[in-house]
Amino acid sequence: MRSDRNLILAAQALRAFAYGFGAVLVGTSLADRGWSTVRVGALLAFVLAGTILASLFVASRGDRIGRRRFYAALYAALAVTGAVFASTDRFWVLAAVSLLGALSTEVVESGPFTSLEQPMLTDASPDAAPVRAFGTYNAVAAIAGSLGALLAGGSERLAELLGASDVTRLFWVFVPVGLLGLFAATSLSPAVEAESQPTTRRPIDRSRRRVVGLAGLFALDSFGGGFVVQSFVVFFLAERFDATIGQLGVVFFALGLLQTASFLVAPRLAERYGLLNTMVFTHLPSNLLLVAVAFAPNFGVAVVLLLSRQALSQMDVPTRQAYVMALVDPAERTAAAAYTNTARYIVRPVGPLLAGIAQQTALGVPFVLAGSIKSVYDLVLWRWFRTVPLHQPDGPLATSPTAEASKEETP
């Protein structure tokens, strides 16, 4: 079991490094090709569409095909994607390979890969609280992704050293990452596979209402977060306080460190206070801090508020992943992870678009909207799910003494 966890973490680290590297490389390489903003946006839309389609396919067929087999296929697709991006600049070829779902604009939670890794980590961790595994899992991704982005900052120099004609050729790094991930996937034991179930059973059966309720709430949270994506925060600090690139670099490096630390602290809090309590009561104050950023009188105060918010806001990531796994039957974990993750991806592009419109009223309005929407998510999540019983690998565990009485009345 421990070897399975280590293989998944190693594969996650490799992929996160490649995604961190690729996130910077995509922007610079497309700019070098002279692409218009419309064409770049269209390609990123295909990347997002591929993430959604592959995640839905994981939900409906992941367990029937086999988690290990599907996981290996995704890493093979990642190698193919890297080779294609390194070899051609034809839009429709790049768009087609993007629909495979192996490329992601996210480092920590990366589409169909994450939807498979969540149930596999849970089933590979019967000897320990799965939330600890999720804390380590997300911390590894954050660190590896940061290192990848750091290396990509010197991509032009790296291309020169490797004798590449341009930075686009550096996409070849995805090929060994994909092949090593493929090797890790095929080395996993049968213990990570889903429990056998009748072929006539739907991927989500008993827990359908709960998963639908969670998916809707996670979509609301993701929609709110879309108002304050990193690029907008950078723009806000530069525009409002005349922050320099050097200052912003230090700020976002510190934010990354706090994000990693929060991933490691969250499991300890969850074991003491419960998964749902940790999700809600770290996330809610972080959203109030987010609203306060809009009214910061100077750069120093804004940075303190952002750092304080970051120390709390990411604690819900490993706890949320563990909560979804504990909420459903073991045979429903793959589909539950895929559906709830997909709900977040679908609404993600809407927030930045509306943020651009909202800031025409006042520059800080997106912070107020984001914090308010995400606070509504926290309060409704607590109201709907505080009495819903959870499942652990060894059996059911009620979240409160009234859980059994309200089991049929909650989502």
Give domain status of residue 404, yes or no.
Answer: no
Q: Are residues 188 and 220 in the same domain?
A: no
Residues 113, 84 within the same domain: yes
* Whether residue 154 sits in one domain with residue 110: yes
* Residue 407 domain-assigned (yes or no): no
Nearest alpha-carbon partner for 334 in 122, 74, 189: 122
Q: Which two tokens stand for residue 273?
A: 């206070």
Cβ-in-10-Å burial (0-12, 13-18, 19+) of 242 comes to exposed
- Give me the percent of the chain exceeding a pLDDT of 70: 81
Q: What is the pLDDT of residue 49?
A: 83
Domain check: are 220 and 365 in the same one? yes
For the cut 80, the answer to whether the pLDDT of residue 199 exceeds it is: no
pLDDT digits (tens, 9 = 90+) for 30-71: 666 677 767 776 787 788 888 888 988 988 888 888 999 999
Whether residues 272 and 378 fall in one domain: yes
CA 43/CA 211 separation, integer angstroms: 31
Q: Determine the structural domain holding residue 79 and report its residue range.
A: 2-192
299 inside domain: yes
**406 assigned to some structural domain:** no
- Residues 233, 337: one domain? yes
CATH code (residue 318): 1.20.1250.20
Predicted pLDDT of residue 197: 56
Kindly state whether residues 247 and 387 are assigned to the same domain: yes
Given pLDDT bands bounded at 50, 70 and 90, which one contains residue 88?
Answer: confident
Q: Which long-range contacts (CB under 8 A, 24 or more apart) does 268-272 make?
A: 269/315, 269/319, 270/129, 270/131, 270/318, 270/319, 270/322, 271/129, 271/131, 271/132
Length of the chain: 411
User: Do 161 and 293 fall into the same domain?
Assistant: no
> Are residues 121 and 154 located together in one domain of the fold?
yes
Higher local confidence (pLDDT), 8 or 194? 8
- Which is more confidently placed, 214 or 238? 214
* Pair (55, 28) in one structural domain: yes
Q: Which of 145, 168, 192 is the last residue of a domain?
A: 192
- Of 350 and 302, the structure prediction assigns the larger pLDDT to 302
pLDDT higher than 90, residue 178 = yes
Asked whether residue 279 falls in the same domain as residue 374, the answer is yes
**To which H or E segment does residue 396 belong?**
strand 395-397
Does residue 214 sit in the same domain as residue 111?
Answer: no
Domain count of the chain? 2
pLDDT of residue 326: 87
Final residue of a structural domain among 192, 216, 245 = 192
Question: Is 408 part of any domain?
Answer: no
* 203 assigned to some structural domain: no
* Arithmetic mean of pLDDT, 278-289: 93
**201 in any annotated domain:** no
Residue 191: the pLDDT is: 87
Q: Cα dist. 32→36, 50, 89 in Å? A: 11, 24, 11
pLDDT tens per residue across span 110-134: 789 988 998 898 887 665 567 888 8
pLDDT of 183 strictly over 90: yes
Instruction: Assess if residue 202 is contained within a domain.
Output: no
pLDDT > 80? residue 276: yes
**CB 314 within 8 Å of CB 379:** no
Query: Would you state the structure tokens that stand for residue 346, as one six-digit string?
Result: 């679908």
Q: Which of 163, 192, 221 is the last residue of a domain?
A: 192
- Label residue 231 by pLDDT band (50, 70, 90): low
